[in-house]
Amino acid sequence: MSVRTIVAGNWKMHKTAAETVSFLDAFLPLSDALPAAIEIVVAPPFTSIPAAGARLRGSRVRLGAQTMHWELSGPFTGEVSAPMLLEFGVTHVILGHSERRAFCAETDHSVNLKVHTALAQHITPIVAVGETGDERAAGSTDERVIEQTRAALAGVPREALSSVVLAYEPIWAIGTGKNCDPAEANRVMAMIRSCIDGLHETPILYGGSMNAENVAAYVAQPNVNGGLVGGASLDPQSFASLVANAQ
């Protein structure tokens, strides 16, 4: 059974609503010529989601959010819930990104709560896991990544695992230009796939300084099903080239 390929652009704290519309005005015409089998997602900041949702309606490009709360409503100042995202056509949500773990108190436990909510609300969770440079140097990469994956997916029924997307994002490779060797990424991703029963149809993306030049070497690996892309997703031409090279 072949696993679907996904390329998701994580815009982080970049692009106003007006800049989002300019990006999409340039990217959408290019997207028609990109390989049809690749699922393309863009994840703008919350304030750009209404404009992006309107512009993406009827297109092949799916809309992602960069996080969400696990409750559907309530006294959580500054937070955004699944129904608020669904209202604007959000189909995917990135959960457990290392920047949110480091700066916004995201924990394995909150990631797990959010995964359950996303699945219940029919939003595809893209769950990020990955080790720091120190953890890699200490030889604890495998242990760390297995621990994060098992915690994020705790209690998820086996039949729901194909509705989850995982992303292996070594933290030392994010935004540094020092991408992980593709064969090593594949080794870790194979281990992720086998650490829980039932992940054989779950797409696993690589993230960390992926670009149009190096993406082909990743997707050539048997356990890499696409990418979660930061910096190289911000320019419409370079993101389109990256997707074109991801088949």
Binding-site member from 175, 183, 200, 213 for ligand PGA (CB under 6 A)? 175
Tell me how long the chain is. 247
Q: Is 66 in the site for ligand PGA (CB under 6 A)?
A: no
Q: At a CB cut-off of 8 Å and minimum separation 6, what does 207 contact?
A: 10, 128, 130, 167, 168, 169, 173, 174, 227, 228, 229, 230
Segment contacting ligand PGA by CB under 6 A, of 28-36, 38-46, 115-123, 225-233 = 225-233
Binding-site member from 210, 215, 217, 224 for ligand PGA (CB under 6 A)? 210
- Tell me the residue ranges of DSSP E strands in the chain: 5-10, 38-43, 61-65, 90-95, 124-129, 165-168, 204-206, 226-229
Q: How far apart are CA 195 and CA 123, in angstroms?
A: 24
Q: Amino acid identity of 65?
A: A
| Nearest distance in Å: CB 42, ligand PGA | 13
Binding-site member from 44, 53, 130, 208 for ligand PGA (CB under 6 A)? 208
- 135 flagged as catalytic: no
Q: Is 64 in the site for ligand PGA (CB under 6 A)?
A: no
Q: Is 207 in the site for ligand PGA (CB under 6 A)?
A: yes
Q: Is 95 in the site for ligand PGA (CB under 6 A)?
A: no
Q: What is the DSSP letter of 163?
A: G
| Nearest distance in Å: CB 6, ligand PGA | 13
- Closer CB to ligand PGA, 38 or 126, in the complex: 126
- 97 flagged as catalytic: yes
Q: Is 126 in the site for ligand PGA (CB under 6 A)?
A: no
Q: Is 231 in the site for ligand PGA (CB under 6 A)?
A: yes
Q: Is 133 in the site for ligand PGA (CB under 6 A)?
A: no
Q: Residue 10 in 3-state DSSP?
A: strand
Angle 130-179-203 (CA atoms, 0-180°, nearest 5)? 55
Q: What amino acid positions are annotated as catalytic residues? A: 97, 169
Question: Site residues (CB under 6 A) for ligand PGA?
Answer: 10, 169, 174-175, 207-210, 228-232
